[in-house]
Amino acid sequence: MSTSLKQASILIIDDYQGMRTMLRDFVKAMGVTRIDAAGNSKEAISQLSNAAYDIVICDHNLGAGPNGQQLLEEAKLRNYVGVSTIWIMVTAEKTHDMVMGAAEIKPDDYLLKPINQVLLESRLEKLIARKQSLGPIEAAIKAGDYPQAIAQCDQQLQKKVLNPQEILRIKSDLLLTLGDYEAARALFESVLAARSVPWAKTGLAKILFHTQDYAGAKEVLEQVLQESPMYMEASDWLARTCNMLGDLDRAQQVLLNATRMSPNSPTRQKLLGETAYRNGALDIAQAAFEKTIKISQFSPHKSAAVYTGLARVYTDVNTPGEALKVLEQSKKEFKNDPEAAIQTAAAECAVYCKLKQPEKAQAAMAAAEQQLEQLGGKVNADVTLEMAKSLFTLGRKDQACGLLREVVKNNHENAELSRNVEAVFEREHLEEEGQALIQASREEVVAINNEGVELAKRGNFQGGADLLRGAAQKLPNSEVILVNLCGLLLGLMKQTGKDAELAQEARDLLDRVRQLNPANKKAHVYGAALTRIMNGA
């Protein structure tokens, strides 16, 4: 028995006390002393948030509430489990849907019941041996120091580790997160020179997508799916790529094929619903949104946008009564979520327009606008798009265009979101006006940002910071403006010395950026740089 197994901290998650006791007895017999247990997902999340576990042994069926797959998904989204954590799923199910779902969330292993101590110990020893090299990498990732995490990957790859492919995948994800496409491309090509593997080929397609070579990305992703039809990640990226190319028919077909093979992904079903709706395939959109609501009940991907999407389908097929029922359900499900309240009220406005009840439509929009004002405009793009659609329905074109202009300005580098804004204008038969608005909005933000960067290049960090502070007040959701303002504050502190007030301003900016986009590449770099400055390094 390995010493590392004896020293491991283990969390056992199962809704049956008898199973928890049996698993605890198994690992105790292996020499493990640090053992916790949870009887449901709520208890498990609480424990995962308060302690770092080396191993999690989790039953797939946890009774009422989230299942083990959804729990793992939430734990990953909240960064409660890292790359070195071992997660073993235990299940009595052998259904195709369960196996595909588990494969997509990627536990390290899953065991079919009944299990015994010999089998569990054998699996744990193999997994620990494989995962031992990932500890330093995870530490750097948790510290937000992605360049150091990449350096740790390189150090491990120089050794004869048991899991080089796993480390290469982690390194590639880090490079993509940091936007170092040249280094990521070199990594993927070196892997593919040895053999064709779907994750590396899909990685190349992601680079093509991010550099807006959508035709190239589509070609590569089609190849991946020809070679590996069940590689779901390639299906998702192909659908996104086809959407960017305006090929909604192909995007819809790709998503239909993928959801038939793996039907329990809320994000994929939601994308199918949105794509089919834009494509005019309302029956497919309805089925996809209904499925999403069903499977995301306990998912971290649960979204009011799905309810409003379904309500719009019902409205378009002349069943506004059903639409209002869905929106009432949304109010109950998201009663403490002000952004969801705005989306729901905006969707209600569209329903009442369909019912030819203008007073109720105006009242619903007034409620949405009041909530938006209370939040200071700090809402996600889905919410703003929903409001713009309903403002068009009310005939309030100027206000709709104003909201869409702000969406583009706050997200001027997000090509997918710009495509969604275009779709709103297309629905109103205002394609040319929409394209002009998007172009002008982008150019306005680029000009302000470039001016701030130019001031920084001249060493005038104070002037650049003042300029971008003004821009950030007008554009509270612009990742680019917020993160570049943070960069100017760091430059100012390097120039004049560390400053507690500036450091707190920078932290607040980084927190806001992470709320908008947890994967923002510069936020990770600047977070590590801020720590070094304040520590005097």
* 141-185 pLDDT tens trace: 887 788 899 999 999 999 888 889 999 999 999 999 888 999 999
> Could you give the 3-state DSSP secondary structure of residue 78?
coil
Q: What is the CATH number of the domain that holds 229?
A: 1.25.40.10
Residues 66 and 57: their CA atoms lie apart, in Å, by 16
The domain of 35 spans: 3-135
Residue-averaged pLDDT of the chain: 91
**247 within 8 A of 221, measured Cβ to Cβ:** no
Q: What is the CATH number of the domain that holds 100?
A: 3.40.50.2300
DSSP single-letter state for residue 60:
S
Name which residue leads in pLDDT, 212 or 93: 212
16: pLDDT strictly greater than 60: yes
Asked if residue 196 and residue 79 are part of one domain, the reply reads: no
**262 within 8 A of 104, measured Cβ to Cβ:** yes
> Could you give the 3-state DSSP secondary structure of residue 413?
coil
Asked if residue 121 and residue 14 are part of one domain, the reply reads: yes
* pLDDT number for residue 474: 87
Please state, for a pLDDT cut of 70, what percent of the chain lies above it: 97
494: pLDDT strictly greater than 60: yes
Instruction: Tell me which of 60-64, 219-223, 286-290 is least confident.
Output: 60-64
Asked if residue 152 and residue 71 are part of one domain, the reply reads: no
pLDDT, tens digit (0-9, with 9 covering 90-100), for 305-327: 999 999 999 999 999 999 999 99
Count the domains in the chain: 3
Asked if residue 188 and residue 68 are part of one domain, the reply reads: no
Q: How many CB atoms lie within 10 A of CB 262?
A: 18
φ and ψ of 108, to 5 deg: -75, -25
pLDDT, tens digit (0-9, with 9 covering 90-100), for 366-424: 999 999 999 987 888 999 999 999 999 999 999 999 999 999 999 988 899 999 999 99
Asked if residue 26 and residue 54 are part of one domain, the reply reads: yes
Which of 221, 246, 271 finishes a domain? 246
100: pLDDT strictly greater than 80: no
Residues 6+ apart with CB under 8 A from 5: 30, 31, 32, 121, 124, 125, 128
Instruction: Tell me which of 60-69, 330-339, 346-355 is least confident.
Output: 60-69
Asked if residue 157 and residue 38 are part of one domain, the reply reads: no
Give a yes or no: residue 196 inside a domain: yes
Among residues 407, 360, 371, 361, the alpha carbon closest in space to that of 388 is found at: 407
Q: How many CB atoms lie within 10 A of CB 29?
A: 12
Using pLDDT thresholds of 50, 70 and 90, give the confidence band for residue 65.
Answer: confident
* pLDDT number for residue 2: 44
Asked if residue 127 and residue 150 are part of one domain, the reply reads: no
* pLDDT number for residue 537: 59
pTM of the model: 0.87
Among residues 329, 387, 395, 388, the alpha carbon closest in space to that of 358 is found at: 395
Using pLDDT thresholds of 50, 70 and 90, give the confidence band for residue 129.
Answer: confident
Asked if residue 198 and residue 131 are part of one domain, the reply reads: no
Using pLDDT thresholds of 50, 70 and 90, give the confidence band for residue 504.
Answer: very high
Mean pLDDT of 208-228: 96
| The token pair that represents 330 in the structure block | 């949304």
φ and ψ of 264, to 5 deg: -105, 30
101: pLDDT strictly greater than 90: no
Asked if residue 235 and residue 156 are part of one domain, the reply reads: yes
Give a yes or no: residue 383 inside a domain: no
Which of 215, 246, 277 finishes a domain? 246
Which of 198, 226, 246 finishes a domain? 246
Give a yes or no: residue 412 inside a domain: no
Give a yes or no: residue 387 inside a domain: no
Stated length of the chain = 537
Asked if residue 121 and residue 10 are part of one domain, the reply reads: yes
> Could you give the 3-state DSSP secondary structure of residue 38?
strand
Give a yes or no: residue 530 inside a domain: yes
Asked if residue 153 and residue 125 are part of one domain, the reply reads: no
Asked if residue 163 and residue 101 are part of one domain, the reply reads: no
Give a yes or no: residue 423 inside a domain: no
**327 within 8 A of 321, measured Cβ to Cβ:** no
The angle subtended at Cα 131 by Cα 127 and Cα 137, nearest 5°, is 165
Among residues 251, 314, 305, the alpha carbon closest in space to that of 278 is found at: 251
Instruction: Tell me which of 93-107, 189-203, 256-270 is least confident.
Output: 93-107
Give a yes or no: residue 115 inside a domain: yes
Mean pLDDT of 6-20: 94
Give a yes or no: residue 382 inside a domain: no
φ and ψ of 9, to 5 deg: -100, 130
